[in-house]
Each structure stands twice: as structure tokens, then as C-alpha cells.
A = this chain, B = another copy of it.
Amino acid sequence: MAYTLQQLSDFEDIRTLKHRYFRGIDTADWALVRGLFTDDVTVEYRGGGYKVKCNGIEETMLMLANAFPSDALAMHLGHMPEITLTGDDTAEGIWYLEDVFISLERDDHTHGTAIYRDRYRREDGQWKIAHTEYDRVMEVVYPRDKSGHISVHLLARKGLKPEERSDISHLLEWG
């Protein structure tokens, strides 16, 4: 009926792991984000206009750094976790994503939601993201409203500049 101290602690730590991930991507804190994945992490995001697929931490970090560049404003919020412990060192989680992504390059503004299905693994006492995937619930792409004045834009400073970017077309499929 009741969870054990260890189980309750695992719920806490798995939640915080994912919270840290969302803070890390929107602030382009790649050192923080890298520490949150297992080396063999797998990623599959099925958006409307895009599909993402990564195998292993190197592909995942390459994709993320290029997906949050200096000409994007990004808000990624992970809500309402449903965590299930599946073993002593394994767990699953469902999360409800809301994201806003304003691209100054494409001049569009995407508003979307999605349901994440993650798998977590404890390694050396630390919970890490071993697998993450989502399917969109809704996604609407608006032309960017240029009457809006951008008064703070952290990624402009911390995200990859055009000359620093890599080709990630093998990881990210459009259309």
C-alpha cells in the first residue's frame, strides 16, 4: 500500500533529473545536460513537421546543441509526471510536454504539446535518461508575430552561432 523510503526517494530523484533536463536545454547548458543521459541513450521524437532519431549520447548531444541555436527562443516545460519503478535500478515515466519554439531564422512560432514515454536507469547511484520518445498531441505553426519586442533572449548569447553549427540532417527529418 505504501511506498518504501527508497521508492519515494527514486520518485524525487527521477523527477528532478527530468526537470534539470528541461532547464538545461532552454538555457543551452550542455555540460549539465550531458550528465543526465546514459551513454547508450536513444531518442525518438515524432513531431508534426519533424522526426528526430538519435542513438547514443554523442548523436543526442549533437542534435540538441544544433536544435537550440542562437536564433531560437525556446520554452520546453515537462509537466505532470507518471513515474513507474520497474526494477531496483530501472523506471519508466510519462510526461506531458508543452513547448513554444520561436525561430528567427524561419520566422515562425510553433506551439505544441506531446506525451513523453521515457525509460530511466540508475548508474553509479545516479538516475539517468536511457530512452526518451514522444508523440505530439497538438502542434500549430504560426508566422512569427514581428510586432513583438524581444526584450530577453538567452539563447542568442548561449546557443550555437551559424558558423558553429553542424549538419544534423541524418538525425532530424523535416516534412
Q: A: which residues have CB within 8 A of B?
A: 1-6, 8-9, 11-12, 16, 18-20, 22-23, 26-27, 47-49, 73-75, 77-83, 94, 96, 98, 100, 102, 111-113, 115, 125, 136-143, 145, 147-155
Residue of B at shortest CB range from A143?
A: B147
Instruction: Decide if B139 touches A152 in the complex (CB within 8 Å).
Output: yes
The 8 closest A-B pairs by CB, nearest first: A48-B151, A19-B80, A139-B152, A136-B152, A48-B152, A2-B9, A142-B148, A140-B148
> What is the CA–CA distance of A152 and B48 in the complex, to the nearest angstrom?
5
> What is the CA–CA distance of A31 and B138 in the complex, to the nearest angstrom?
21
Given contact pairs A3-B9, A137-B152, a sample of 14 additional A-B residue pairs in the complex whose CB atoms are under 8 Å apart: A3-B8, A3-B12, A5-B8, A8-B12, A19-B79, A27-B137, A73-B140, A75-B137, A136-B152, A138-B154, A138-B155, A139-B153, A140-B150, A141-B151
Instruction: Decide if A142 touches B151 in the complex (CB within 8 Å).
Output: no
Residues in chain B near residue A20, CB distance under 8 A: 82
Residues in chain B near residue A74, CB distance under 8 A: 138
Residues in chain B near residue A73, CB distance under 8 A: 138, 140
Residues in chain B near residue A152, CB distance under 8 A: 47-48, 112, 136-139
Residue of B at shortest CB range from A136?
A: B152
Min CB gap A129→B, angstroms: 15
Residues in chain B near residue A16, CB distance under 8 A: 81-83
Residues in chain B near residue A153, CB distance under 8 A: 138-139
Instruction: Decide if A154 touches B142 in the complex (CB within 8 Å).
Output: no
